[in-house]
Structure 1
Amino acid sequence: MLRHLSYILLILLVTFLSCSEKGPESTRLTSGDQISYNFHIRPILSDNCFACHGPDENKRESGLRLDNAEGAYAALKENPGAHAIVPGKPAQSEIISRITTTDETAKMPPSESNLKLSPEEIDLIKKWVKQGAKYEPHWAFLPPVKTSLPTISDPQWVNNEIDYFVLAKLDKIGLQPNEKADKMLLLKRLSLDLTGLPPTEELMKSFKEDESEEATEKIIDKLLDSPSFGERMAVLWMDISRYSDSYGYQDDNIRTQWPYRDWVIHAFNKNLPYDKFITWQLAGDLMPNPTKEQILATAFNRNHKYTEEGGVIPEEYRVEYILDKTNTYSKAIIGMTVECAQCHDHKYDPISQENYFEMYAFFNNTPEQGYEGDVSVSKPAKHPIMWVEKEDLKGILNFVNHQDTSKIMVSVMEDYKDSLRRTFVLDRGVYDQPTTEVFPSTPKSILQFDESKYPKNRLGLAQWTFSEENPLTARVFVNLMWQEFFGAGIVRSAGDFGMQGKLPTHPELLDWLAVDFQESGWDVKHLVKKIVSAATYQQSATSDKKKMESDPDNFYLASYPRIRLNAEHIRDMILASSGLLSKEIGGPSVKPYQPEGLWEAATSGRGELAEYRQDQGDKLYRRGLYTFIKLTSPPPKPIIFDGSNRDVCEVSRNRTNTPLQALAMLNDPLVLEASRVLANKLIGEGKEYEEAIQEAFLRIICRTPKVEEFELLKEYYQEELKRFKQKPETILETVNAGEFPLDQYSNSPETAALMQVVVAIYNVEEAITKT
Structure 2
Amino acid sequence: MSSAFAVSALVFAGFPQGTIDFARDVKPVLDRHCVECHGPQKSKADLRLDLRERAFAGAEGGSEPVIVPGRAAASSLYTRLVTEDKSERMPHKAPPLEPAQIEAIRRWIDEGAKWPDEVAGVDERRNHWAYQRPVRSAVPKVEHPERVRNPIDAFLEARFERDGVTPAPEASPATLVRRLHLDLTGIPPTPEEVAAFENDKRADAYEQLVRKLLASPRYGERMARPWLDLARYADTQGYEKDARRSMAPYRDWVIAALNENLPYNAFSLEQLAGDLFPGATRSQRIATAFHRNTMLNEEGGTDAEEFRSAAILDRVNTTATIWMGSTLACAQCHDHKYDPFSQRDYYKLFAAFNQTADGGKTPEPVLRAPTAEQERELEGIAKRIEELERKLTAADEALDQEQREWELQPRLKPFDELDWIPWVPTEVYFDPPGLEATIAPDGTVTLNGVIPDRVNLTVCRDMLDYDEFMLGKPLVRLEVLPFESGDRRGPGLASHGNFVLSKARVRFWDGNPSGYYDLIQRVVDVDHEQPGGAFRASHALDEDDSTGWAIGGAVERPHRIIFEVTPEIFREARLLLRFQSTYPKHILGRFRVSTSSDPRGLGRGVTCSPWKSAGPFVAASFEEARDTAFEPERELAEGKPFAESYRDGTLAWRELELKVGQQKIPLQGERCATYLRRTITTQRARQLELYVGGDDAVKLWLNGELVHESQDYTTYTNTPTRVQVRLREGANELLAKVTNGNGGYGFAFDVGYLTDDRITPEIEALLKLAPEERGVEEARQLRDWYRRGPSVLGSAIADELTKLRKRRDEIEAMLPTVMVMEAVKEPRQSHVFVRGSFLTPGEPVEAGIPGIFGAMASSEVPTLARFELARWLVSRDNPLAARVHVNRMWELFFGRGIVATGQDFGLRGDAPSHPELLDWLSVRFADSGWDMKALVETIVTSAAYRRSSDVPRAEYERDRHNIELARGARMRLEAELLRDNALAISGLLVESLGGQSVFPPQPAGTWNSAYS
The bucket for the TM-score relative to the shorter chain is 0.5 to 0.7
The answer to whether the 8 Å contact 1:196/1:569 transfers is yes
The answer to whether the 8 Å contact 1:99/1:122 transfers is no
- In the other structure, the counterpart of 1:49 is 35
Matched, 1:191 2:597: no
Find 1:287's aligned residue among 272, 277, 298: 277
Matched to 1:458, the amino acid is R
Counterpart-to-counterpart distance in 1, 2:929 and 2:302: 46
Find 1:135's aligned residue among 91, 94, 118: 118
Matched to 2:871, the amino acid is Q
* Deviation of 1:209 (Å): 2.5
Matched, 1:448 2:854: yes
Find 1:394's aligned residue among 370, 375, 382: 375
- In the other structure, the counterpart of 1:436 is 843
* Deviation of 1:470 (Å): 1.6
The answer to whether the 8 Å contact 1:282/1:462 transfers is yes
Find 1:557's aligned residue among 965, 972, 986: 965
Matched to 1:383, the amino acid is E
* Deviation of 1:537 (Å): 0.7
Counting only pairs closer than 5 Å after superposition, residues 217-616 of structure 1 correspond to structure 2 as 217-372=207-362, 382-389=363-370, 393-394=374-375, 405=812, 406-427=814-835, 429-445=836-852, 447-451=853-857, 457-593=865-1001, 605-606=1010-1011, 610=1012
- In the other structure, the counterpart of 1:181 is 171
* Backbone CA RMSD of aligned residues: 4.1
Matched, 1:33 2:19: yes
Counterpart-to-counterpart distance in 2, 1:51 and 1:416: 46
* Deviation of 1:219 (Å): 0.9
Distance 1:594 1:186, change over 3 A: farther
Secondary structure of the equivalent of 1:488?
coil
Matched to 2:923, the amino acid is V
Secondary structure of the equivalent of 1:233?
helix
Secondary structure of the equivalent of 2:347?
helix
**Structure (1 or 2) with the larger CA radius of gyration:** 2
Secondary structure of the equivalent of 1:418?
coil
TM-score, normalised to structure 1's length?
0.64
* Deviation of 1:135 (Å): 2.9
Counterpart-to-counterpart distance in 1, 2:112 and 2:948: 43
Matched, 1:161 2:569: no
The answer to whether the 8 Å contact 2:249/2:817 transfers is no
Matched to 2:221, the amino acid is E
- Tell me the alpha carbon deviations over residues 320-371 of structure 1, each in whole angstroms, 9 at most, x when there is no partner: 1111111111112221111122222222222222222222222112222222
Counterpart-to-counterpart distance in 2, 1:170 and 1:116: 25
Secondary structure of the equivalent of 2:188?
coil
Distance 1:131 1:281, change over 3 A: same
Distance 1:138 1:128, change over 3 A: farther
The answer to whether the 8 Å contact 1:365/1:420 transfers is yes
* Deviation of 1:210 (Å): 1.5
* Deviation of 1:161 (Å): 0.9
Counterpart-to-counterpart distance in 2, 1:481 and 1:246: 28
Q: Give the count of matched residue pairs.
A: 556
Counterpart-to-counterpart distance in 2, 1:310 and 1:392: 38
Matched to 1:384, the amino acid is P
* Deviation of 1:595 (Å): 5.4
- Tell me the alpha carbon deviations over residues 409-462 of structure 1, each in whole angstroms, 9 at most, x when there is no partner: 2111112233233222332x12212222222222233x2223459986111111
The answer to whether the 8 Å contact 2:264/2:930 transfers is yes
Q: Could you list the runs of 5+ residues in structure 2 that have no partner in the other structure?
A: 1-10, 120-126, 380-809
Secondary structure of the equivalent of 2:909?
coil
The answer to whether the 8 Å contact 2:235/2:244 transfers is yes
The answer to whether the 8 Å contact 2:887/2:899 transfers is yes
- Tell me the alpha carbon deviations over residues 157-210 of structure 1, each in whole angstroms, 9 at most, x when there is no partner: 221111112222223333212222111221111111111111234433432332
The answer to whether the 8 Å contact 1:43/1:500 transfers is no
Q: Could you list the runs of 5+ residues in structure 1 that have no partner in the other structure?
A: 1-23, 373-381, 611-771
Counting only pairs closer than 5 Å after superposition, residues 689-700 of structure 1 correspond to structure 2 as none
Distance 1:203 1:35, change over 3 A: closer
Distance 1:600 1:533, change over 3 A: same
The answer to whether the 8 Å contact 1:72/1:83 transfers is no
Distance 1:596 1:449, change over 3 A: farther
- Tell me the alpha carbon deviations over residues 44-97 of structure 1, each in whole angstroms, 9 at most, x when there is no partner: 04542366643x7xx89999986567x859999x99x99999998999x99989
Moved over 6 A (4+): 59-66, 73-76, 81-91, 93-100, 107-119, 395-398, 453-456
The answer to whether the 8 Å contact 1:82/1:94 transfers is no
Distance 1:578 1:424, change over 3 A: same
- Tell me the alpha carbon deviations over residues 286-310 of structure 1, each in whole angstroms, 9 at most, x when there is no partner: 1222111111101000112111111
* Deviation of 1:514 (Å): 0.8
Matched to 1:37, the amino acid is A
Counterpart-to-counterpart distance in 1, 2:222 and 2:95: 44
Matched to 2:993, the amino acid is I
TM-score, normalised to structure 2's length?
0.50
- Tell me the alpha carbon deviations over residues 247-271 of structure 1, each in whole angstroms, 9 at most, x when there is no partner: 1112111100110001001000100
**Between Structure 1 and Structure 2, which shows a larger proportion of strand residues?**
2
Counterpart-to-counterpart distance in 2, 1:397 and 1:296: 19
Matched to 1:210, the amino acid is D
Counterpart-to-counterpart distance in 1, 2:218 and 2:91: 55
Counterpart-to-counterpart distance in 2, 1:546 and 1:61: 39
The answer to whether the 8 Å contact 2:185/2:218 transfers is yes
Distance 1:158 1:109, change over 3 A: closer
Q: Which range moves more in the overlay, 107-116 or 281-290?
A: 107-116
The answer to whether the 8 Å contact 2:34/2:91 transfers is no
Counterpart-to-counterpart distance in 2, 1:395 and 1:130: 70
Distance 1:363 1:75, change over 3 A: farther
- Tell me the alpha carbon deviations over residues 569-616 of structure 1, each in whole angstroms, 9 at most, x when there is no partner: 12222222222221110100012445567x659xx845xxx3xxxxxx
- In the other structure, the counterpart of 1:650 is none
Q: Which range moves more in the overlay, 278-287 or 172-181?
A: 172-181
The answer to whether the 8 Å contact 2:22/2:115 transfers is no
The answer to whether the 8 Å contact 1:175/1:547 transfers is no
Counterpart-to-counterpart distance in 2, 1:284 and 1:73: 50
**Between Structure 1 and Structure 2, which shows a larger proportion of helix residues?**
1
Distance 1:343 1:112, change over 3 A: farther
